[in-house]
Amino acid sequence: MNERLHAITTKLSEHLHSVIEEFQITEDELKVALQFLTKVGKSGEYPLLSDVLHVSIAVDRVTHAAEHDGKSTESNVEGPLYREEAPILSHPVHLCAVDETEDEILYVSGQVFSTDGEPLANTMIDVWQANGKGDYENEDPTQPEFNLRGRFLTDEKGRYEFRTVVPGPYEIGKGGPVGELLKAIDRHAWRPAHIHFKISHPGFKPVTTMLFIEGDPWVNSDSIGAVKESLLLKLEECNDLGEKIRRGIDRKFYTSKFDFILSRA
């Protein structure tokens, strides 16, 4: 017998029974709930349901609680939009493969350290994000393949820098049953603007995480509940002529610093 599955199933039905008692759930309501779950299954929206019920982020929390020693960078959910084998980019790293004029330019830089402060050279940084309109390349036919996705290594001092665009917030899929649920309970589908990362170095625990743009209007009400205080990215506006010339940019741009910390495997 699968003891763990037995214990979880028993506990889950106890919790469901207490909800049924508390809300005096009727047979008609049960029928609607079962029809809803059938539709969720048929439309392949179980991962999305898990996200909006904040189940995915709760599982991320318990999965990584043991390895999060208070020093290493906190993890976050991978989400459904990760693509393996993103292009390997050389320095200086440009994540955006198209004309950036419709969006605001952003430089993200920092260092990767071990929990005891050792800079980690040759750490693999795998990044993916939406453009300023909140669109990911694989859901937007106007963007080229692998736009705003890429992998690159830190230098000999564990440093990294990449040029990209400020991502926009976006709504998670709301055209199916999960969207109907959100509408019925008056919840929005917005995710605050963010950049996803996978950071890995041999001998260290890899971290999958995302950094949120501080000040985003949805940062306190993420539809999937994934915002963590330690993962906020502060953007500084730069309008300095010398800096603009040095970087070959003719308009204001943004910079942001974030150091990643990995714990030993």
Side chain identity, residue 217: P
Helix ranges (H only) for 105-232 are: 177-184
Q: Choose one: 30-38, 77-85, 150-158, 199-207; the region binding ligand BEZ (CB under 6 A).
A: 77-85
Neighbour count for residue 237 (Cβ, 10 Å):
10
Q: Which two tokens stand for residue 186?
A: 């008056």
- Indicate whether 80 belongs to the interface with ligand BEZ (CB under 6 A): yes
Both tokens of residue 14? Answer: 């106890």
**Shortest-Cβ-distance residue relative to Fe ion:** 79
Q: What are phi and psi of 73, to 5 degrees?
A: -65, 135
149, 163, 194, 201: the active-site residue: 194
CA separation for the pair 154, 148 (Å, rounded): 18
Q: Which is nearer to Fe ion, 78 or 243 (by Cβ)? A: 78
List the structure tokens of 63: 């999965």
194 is an active site residue: yes
Q: Residue 172 binds which one of ligand BEZ, Fe ion, none, with CB within 5 to 8 A depending on kind?
A: ligand BEZ
Scanning 7-15, 40-48, 72-80, 233-241 for contacts with Fe ion by CB under 5 A, the matching segment is: 72-80
Which of 40, 45, 49, 51 forms a contact with ligand BEZ (CB under 6 A)?
51
Using N-to-C axis directions, what is the helix angle for 27-42 and 177-184, rounded to 10°?
140
By CB under 6 A, tell whether 202 contacts ligand BEZ.
no
Which residue is it, tokens 């037995």? Answer: 6
Contact set for Fe ion, span 78-97 (CB under 5 A): 79
Identify whether 251 is a catalytic site residue.
Answer: no
Q: Site for ligand BEZ (CB under 6 A): which residue of 93, 153, 182, 224?
A: 224
Separation between Cα atoms, residue 107 and residue 105, nearest integer Å: 7
Cis preceding linkage at 92, omega within 30: yes
The backbone torsions φ and ψ at residue 219, rounded to the nearest 5 degrees and listed phi first, read -65, -25
- The nearer residue to ligand BEZ, 172 or 199, going by C-beta atoms, is 172
Residue of 107, 160, 170, 254 marked catalytic: 170
36 φ, ψ (degrees, to nearest 5) = -60, -50
Question: If binding means CB under 6 A, how many residues of this protein chain bind ligand BEZ?
Answer: 7
Q: Active-site residue 82, yes or no?
A: no
User: Which residue lies nearest ligand BEZ, judged by its C-beta?
Assistant: 79
Q: Does 120 bind ligand BEZ (CB under 6 A)?
A: no
| Start-to-end CA span in the chain (Å) | 32
Q: Which is nearer to Fe ion, 79 or 168 (CB)?
A: 79
The residues binding ligand BEZ (CB under 6 A) are 51, 79-81, 172, 191, 224
The residues binding Fe ion (CB under 5 A) are 79
Q: Mind telling me the catalytic residues?
A: 136, 170, 191, 194, 196
